[in-house]
Structure 1
Amino acid sequence: MKVIAISGSLRAASLNSMLLRVMADVAPPGIEVRLYQGLGQLPLFNPDIAEPPPVVAALRDALLAADAVVIASPEYAHGVTGAIKNGLDWMVGNESFIDKPVALLNASPRATHAYASLRETITVMSARVVEAASLTLPLLGANLSEEAMRADPQICGMLRATLLALKADQ
């Protein structure tokens, strides 16, 4: 199974990005997780652009090639980040999310508004949110490094369980 993982944060020290990198490292055999790195390079969405720029087409193609999607995004001002919303807006006019199994990861239990908004957006785009694969982890304020996350058996176990739930949903 091929999974594309998208972090809604562009910060170098993002907990969400760290979480997705750890997920890729601890993925069970037969599950490949690739972290999408181009969110910050996407131009602002403009519906007047008839032919999507190459970077947008590359995201669409990566989503179409994936068997499942994992999205981890922080909350800014009670909403998703502009970066993730922009990326999703570019995908509205194509079939990249139609019936695609999606897991939503949340690194902060306080980020309920963004989580709900993200769920609504991808559901409207005809994706299938896999409840058993979606996960909230209390990482905000824990001051964990990526290495500490990777060494934590509980975090690694939850991330593996997320991937196995996505695989079972296929």
Structure 2
Amino acid sequence: MKKIFAISGSTKSISTNGLYIAAISQVLGKDFEVTLFPSIANIPHFNPDLDLEDPPKVIYDLRKTIQEADGIIISTPEYAMGLPGSLKNLLDWTVSNASLSGKPVLAIVASTQGEKAYRSIIDILTVLEAKISAQLIPFAKAKINKEAEITDLETLTKLKSTIHAFVAAL
């Protein structure tokens, strides 16, 4: 069974991005164990002075889980024409140990526009040397219900294609 580690770029406890992760988990099926990171809100501000042999426990656990995963899913909104600061902060903590280097990452940006956050996450993951499968999902078309079912056929088709590329990279 392949291990997938999922991160929501939203700090909301119940968010559309969490629903997208649940929908992706359903598409992946029973051959994949998807573990959702509890909350990016609990990550301390990146500080190189703390990034030593003994980082904060939440950072140690984050890095270990990333390293043990076969692949990573990130679903994020766009805030103020960019990537949410809390998600960028989490990604900053992965730089020094290169935990995302060579790791397959499915990056989803779900937003009414999203182009700026999409470009930003692609740029960051490229610098981190991740193997990227990515999808920009405009909310105007992408209807998702509370049962994490994507009701727009075009969005679902594009997402399945992106998931297929991600699975192939595993």
**TM-score under structure 2 length normalisation:** 0.85
Tell me whether 1:32 sits opposite 2:28 in the alignment.
no
CA RMSD of aligned residues (A): 2.2
Cα 1:109–1:103 change in 2 (3 A) is farther
Letter of the 1:65 counterpart = E
Instruction: Report deviation, 1:58.
Output: 0.6
Contiguous gaps of at least 5 residues in structure 1:
none
Cα 1:113–1:29 change in 2 (3 A) is same
Contact 2:114 2:138 in 1 (8 A): no
CA distance in 2, matches of 1:45, 1:87: 8
CA distance in 2, matches of 1:140, 1:6: 23
Q: How does 1:71-150 map to 2 (within 5 A)?
A: 71-108=74-111, 110-130=113-133, 134-140=134-140, 144-147=144-147, 149-150=148-149
Higher helix share: 1
Q: Say which structure, 1 or 2, has more relative contact order (CA 8 Å, 6+ apart).
A: 1
CA distance in 2, matches of 1:141, 1:12: 23
CA distance in 1, matches of 2:142, 2:163: 23
% of aligned pairs identical? Answer: 34
CA distance in 1, matches of 2:156, 2:29: 10
Q: Alpha-carbon deviations, 1:129-165, whole Å to 9, x = none? A: 13xxx22223258674322x42637355554443332
Q: What is the aligned partner in structure 2 of residue 152 from structure 1?
A: 151
Q: Alpha-carbon deviations, 1:41-64, whole Å to 9, x = none? A: 111110011221010111101100
Cα 1:96–1:74 change in 2 (3 A) is same
Shifted more, 72-81 versus 55-64: the winner is 72-81
Contiguous gaps of at least 5 residues in structure 2:
none
Cα 1:138–1:160 change in 2 (3 A) is same
Cα 1:32–1:113 change in 2 (3 A) is same
CA distance in 2, matches of 1:143, 1:166: 22
State the number of aligned residues: 166
CA distance in 2, matches of 1:70, 1:160: 14
**TM-score under structure 1 length normalisation:** 0.85
